[in-house]
């Protein structure tokens, strides 16, 4: 078996199963929508929450970052192992329950301490869904649709963030009550219920069935989502890969110790997770209204202006998904990190100008440029690569470790940003991000492999073969 481009016959008749795959993608990516909403809604809710709880800076940072760490970080670690143990579908059902309980707990929180615990519960769902949803989509998708199906989850994440910004602004205009933040946070319970009901109607991943030697179930799922030719060819590849993976399953640490090629892929995955967050994208997602308010805009104007950031995220993610049909993963990342470094340099310079409405809107435009490069070229690719590069035997575990690193860095940046910004100023802070993203560009150029156009089993065979050759030499 070798890496090759998909044969034209593999694309024939793909429309016959497109409706099934669309329904599956729409339901499973509600986890991504909740991921985005729960991380984005706090930016507006904070502006009112202070009136209820009179929080100091540490309490405010804790409310924001507790969802990320320990919440999402632990959710990623446990979610990866849970996805291997009870299945991708079963784990997404657990996530739906966590989203529902967490959203309602946040809405009725009587104190800062209760809010922090509720945000941790939400974080467990966010972290586990961040691991499981891309895995589920990657394993359910035909190879020629995998890129676009997996990155729909990223589109749902940024759509959730945009909805959070829009709902925050709408509620600010309609509800003249300092307790409006409770409604902002409670809205998340609606898609959580939809995810819970929807996942009860979807099947388990065919690769997870194969790992448990349930090959009849594997074939049934492939027949529902592929043409007969695609199903037959992919079934044979899965059978071959699962024979090896079943011998390795349950011995993750042993396999990582004995297989340098697996360790290399794990470190590349962790590196990808770190550099995605090191862009600083979540400083915009969490603190955009605060940054704009401090630059001279009022609270309401800041909330409305932030919607532009959300719309930019959605539009550019759609553009990124379209580009993935033509452009390789590596090239997308290289363009993305180059653009991010350049746009952050512009942002750093704009912060040197004296405060005014013109400067505030110039900062908003620079933020939108920054967000455009991240969401179009980086956000779409990193989650996709994480779902593709790990071998079957350690896929859930390795994805969990990588996403644990992602959320840990996310939490650290989110917690430290106000502190660093206060000490270095906005120009110094975004100048620091420029340096970090130049380093990230070097990492991608040196280490990240290309995965476009090949099945998961072809990629695993290639990485295994190349790793064994390197070990022998």
275-334 residue pLDDT tens: 999 998 877 766 666 677 666 666 667 767 777 877 888 899 999 999 988 899 999 999
- Share the mean pLDDT of the chain: 86
Q: CA of 354: how far to CAs of 165, 198, 283, 334, 359, in Å?
A: 27, 51, 22, 34, 7
Q: CA of 470: how far to CAs of 19, 141, 260, 462, in Å?
A: 43, 31, 9, 12
What is the helix (H) or strand (E) element at residue 424, kind and residue range? Answer: helix 395-447
d(CA 195, CA 24): 11
- The answer to whether the beta carbons of residues 102 and 366 sit under 8 Å apart is no
Residue 8's pLDDT band (boundaries 50, 70, 90)? very low
* pLDDT exceeds cutoff 80 at 346: yes
Average pLDDT over residues 19-24: 89
Structure pTM? 0.79
Write out the DSSP string of 203-251. PPPHHHHHHTT-HHHHHHHHHHHS-HHHHHHHHHHHHHHHHHHHHHTT-
Q: What pLDDT score was predicted for residue 9? A: 39
Q: Is 228 exposed, middle or buried (0-12, 13-18, 19+ CB in 10 A)?
A: exposed
Q: What pLDDT score was predicted for residue 198? A: 95
Q: What pLDDT score was predicted for residue 294? A: 66
d(CA 396, CA 222): 20
* pLDDT exceeds cutoff 70 at 12: no
Q: What pLDDT score was predicted for residue 118? A: 96
Q: What pLDDT score was predicted for residue 250? A: 58
* pLDDT exceeds cutoff 90 at 382: yes
CATH classification code of 15-202+250-472: 1.20.1250.20
What is the helix (H) or strand (E) element at residue 167, kind and residue range? Answer: helix 143-174
pLDDT digits (tens, 9 = 90+) for 26-75: 999 999 999 889 888 887 888 788 888 888 878 887 888 888 888 988 99
* pLDDT exceeds cutoff 70 at 344: yes
Q: Per 3-state DSSP, what percentage of the chain is helix, strand, and coil (rounded to 5)?
A: 85, 0, 15
């Amino acid at each position: 078996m070798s890496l090759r481009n998909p044969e034209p016959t593999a694309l024939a008749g793909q429309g016959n199963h497109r409706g099934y795959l669309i329904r599956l993608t729409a339901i499973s990516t509600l986890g991504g929508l909740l991921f985005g909403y729960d991380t984005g809604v706090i930016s507006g809710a904070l502006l009112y929450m202070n009136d209820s709880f009179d929080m100091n800076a540490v309490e405010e940072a804790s409310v924001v970052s507790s969802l990320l760490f320990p919440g999402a970080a632990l959710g990623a670690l446990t979610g990866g192992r849970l996805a291997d143990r009870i299945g991708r579908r079963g784990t997404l059902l657990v996530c739906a329950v966590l989203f529902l309980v967490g959203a309602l707990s946040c809405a009725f929180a009587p104190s800062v301490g209760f809010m922090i615990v509720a945000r941790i519960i939400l974080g467990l769902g966010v972290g586990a869904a961040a691991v499981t949803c891309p895995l589920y989509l990657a394993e359910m998708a035909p190879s020629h649709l995998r890129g676009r199906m997996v990155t729909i989850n990223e589109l749902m994440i940024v759509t959730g963030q945009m909805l959070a910004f829009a709902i925050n602004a709408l509620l600010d205009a309609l509800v003249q009550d300092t307790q409006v933040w409770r409604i902002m946070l409670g809205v998340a319970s609606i898609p959580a219920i939809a995810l819970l009901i929807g996942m009860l109607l979807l099947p388990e991943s065919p690769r997870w069935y194969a790992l448990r030697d349930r090959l009849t179930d594997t074939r049934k799922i492939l027949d529902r989502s592929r043409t007969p030719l695609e199903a037959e060819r992919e079934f044979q590849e899965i059978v071959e890969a699962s024979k090896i993976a079943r011998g390795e399953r349950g011995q993750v640490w042993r396999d990582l110790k004995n297989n340098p090629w697996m360790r290399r892929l794990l470190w590349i995955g962790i590196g990808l997770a770190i550099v995605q967050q090191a862009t600083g994208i979540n400083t915009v997602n969490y603190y955009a209204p605060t940054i704009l308010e401090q630059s001279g805009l009022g609270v309401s104007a800041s909330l409305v202006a932030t919607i532009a950031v959300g719309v930019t995220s959605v539009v550019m993610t759609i553009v990124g998904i379209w580009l993935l049909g033509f452009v390789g993963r590596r090239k997308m990342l290289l363009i993305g990190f180059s653009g991010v470094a350049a746009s952050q340099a512009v942002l750093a310079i704009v912060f040197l100008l004296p405060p005014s409405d013109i400067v505030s809107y110039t900062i908003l435009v620079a933020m939108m440029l920054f967000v455009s490069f991240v969401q179009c070229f980086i956000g779409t690719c990193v989650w996709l690569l994480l779902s593709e590069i790990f071998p079957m035997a350690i896929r859930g575990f390795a994805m969990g470790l990588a996403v644990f690193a992602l959320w840990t860095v996310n939490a650290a940046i989110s917690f430290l940003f106000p502190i660093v910004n206060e000490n270095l100023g906005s120009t110094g802070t975004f100048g620091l991000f420029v340096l970090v993203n130049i380093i990230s560009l070097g990492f991608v150029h040196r280490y990240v492999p290309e995965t476009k156009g090949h099945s998961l089993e072809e990629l695993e065979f290639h990485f295994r073969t190349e790793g064994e050759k390197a070990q022998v030499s």
